Amino acid sequence: MFTYLRLLLFPFSLIYGLVVIVRNKLYDAGFFKSVAFDLPVICVGNLVVGGSGKTPVTEYLVSLLSTHKIAILSRGYGRNTKGFILADESATAQSIGDEPMQFFSKFPQVTVAVCEDRVYGIAQLQQQHDLIILDDAFQHRAVKAGFNILLFEYQKLRSFQFLLPAGNLREPFSGFKRAQAVLVTKAPANLSPADEALCSAKFRTGKNKPSFSFLKYDDLISLNGQPSKPVANVNQHTVVFLLTGIANPGPLISYISNYTKAIEQHEYPDHYQFSLADIDKLCKAFKQHPGTEKIIITTEKDAQRLLSSAIQELLLNLPVYYLPVKVALKAEDKITFDKKILDYVSSHTRNRTIHKAENS
């Protein structure tokens, strides 16, 4: 059925692809305006709709560039507001989006802002910051980012992908050539040389050899103020109620399956706004299950949408934990990847004091 649907949508993918190619050519030729800024602007993006690991990669950059005054600018997908918003203590996942809310909660030293118009957003932030990280803006060509990091999910990279609407590609695969760095995400930690070569061959016409990264999970963090605990506390006798609203929960399910096969999935679409009825359904399923060892696990991003007082009341006294995840690069790739970024930032960093004086 899915194959037939793709065949029906394929003509529309051809039209969509033609429009995207013409649009990119017009930007390349200067017919459409693309604004550059006089401070380092790093874009983290992808070619495919859905999760490719942009959030942990953005967090990786924050750690790598921690000596700089950083601003993260996102569109704020899924928020119920419009325009430029600077995250503050009143911010919620509903007002700025779940991923920006995660950044704001996790990195108090970093400025987090959302705006659909990235050019306007950068203009509001540039005077007070050393560099700006754009979350998911590779196709936002009105901004000419100085350094583009393009992400490809390992499993999706291994199969042929169609353009929208028949598939999930936002633009033709050849768009990767605009990037200054290509990062294959969610690769197996024990990636074989043959599989690495197979993936790398897809980029042989480009100037950048891809780097490879994998996910690294941390301890479980309680939403109800309980102490954190190792995932190893989950065992074959534990029933996990897994609540997700992310694009691809597959790697998370695979990881938890290393500890227990008893996983009760409550799966929703990416950025899904959990309703009280959804959480009530989860709580009832948890309480009615006869198992004696039970736990509710969600992702760090999903946890940002569980912080309203009404939802917290439903989850009160239940063992609800989120599982933080980081990105880790292969040792040899990390050296090259980090150096590219650090070299770019150091060669484009401007003196903010002098800049302010020139514009005052």
281 plus 355 within the same structural domain: no
Average pLDDT over residues 145-149: 98
Distance in angstroms (rounded) separating the CA atoms of residues 201 and 214? 19
Only one residue has tokens 């990037």, namely 179
pLDDT above 90 for 360: no
264 plus 203 within the same structural domain: no
341 plus 194 within the same structural domain: yes
Distance in angstroms (rounded) separating the CA atoms of residues 332 and 314? 47
Per-residue model confidence (pLDDT) at position 160: 85
Give the pLDDT confidence of 80-110 residue by residue, as tens digits: 999 999 999 999 999 999 999 999 999 999 9
142 plus 106 within the same structural domain: yes
CATH number at residue 99: 3.40.50.300
Distance in angstroms (rounded) separating the CA atoms of residues 214 and 268? 24
Average pLDDT over residues 8-28: 95
Residue 203 is given by DSSP the state: G
**Run of H or E residues at 321:** strand 320-323
pLDDT tier for residue 206 given thresholds of 50, 70 and 90: confident
pLDDT tier for residue 2 given thresholds of 50, 70 and 90: low
Distance in angstroms (rounded) separating the CA atoms of residues 132 and 145? 10
pLDDT above 60 for 70: yes
CATH number at residue 270: 3.40.640.10
Distance in angstroms (rounded) separating the CA atoms of residues 258 and 235? 9
- Count CB atoms within 10 A of the CB of residue 239: 18
Distance in angstroms (rounded) separating the CA atoms of residues 18 and 11? 11
248 plus 350 within the same structural domain: no
178 plus 114 within the same structural domain: yes
Span between the terminal Cα atoms of the chain, in Å: 63
Average pLDDT over residues 169-173: 96
Residues 89-122: b if buried by 16+ CB within 10 A, e if exposed:
eebbbbbbbbbbbbbbbebeebbbbbbeebeebb
Distance in angstroms (rounded) separating the CA atoms of residues 139 and 141? 5
Per-residue model confidence (pLDDT) at position 351: 60
In a domain, residue 14? The reply is: no
Q: Report residue 83 as tokens.
A: 């325009």
Integer angstrom CA distances of residue 360 from 122, 307, 355:
18, 42, 9
212 plus 348 within the same structural domain: yes
39 plus 130 within the same structural domain: yes
Number of domains in the chain: 2
> Which SS3 state, helix, strand or coil, does residue 358 take?
helix
183 plus 267 within the same structural domain: no
Spatial contact of 317 and 341, defined as CB atoms under 8 Å apart: no
pLDDT above 90 for 176: yes
187 plus 38 within the same structural domain: yes
> Which SS3 state, helix, strand or coil, does residue 336 take?
helix
Q: Report residue 156 as tokens.
A: 């999706």
What is the number of helices (H) and of strands (E) in the chain?
13, 14
pLDDT tier for residue 349 given thresholds of 50, 70 and 90: confident
Residue 48 is given by DSSP the state: B
pLDDT above 50 for 268: yes
334 plus 319 within the same structural domain: no
Average pLDDT over residues 15-40: 96
Least confident of 99-103, 237-241, 328-332: 328-332
Residue 117 is given by DSSP the state: -
Only one residue has tokens 């590779």, namely 138
Per-residue model confidence (pLDDT) at position 1: 54
Instruction: Report which of 328, 331, 278, 324 is spatially closest to residue 303, judged by C-alpha positions.
Output: 324
In a domain, residue 16? The reply is: no
Give the residue numbers spanning the domain of 307.
219-323
Per-residue model confidence (pLDDT) at position 118: 97
In a domain, residue 262? The reply is: yes
Integer angstrom CA distances of residue 92 from 55, 70, 103, 105, 325:
17, 21, 12, 10, 21
Amino acid identity, residue 34?
S
pLDDT tier for residue 355 given thresholds of 50, 70 and 90: very low
Average pLDDT over residues 156-183: 93
pLDDT tier for residue 5 given thresholds of 50, 70 and 90: confident
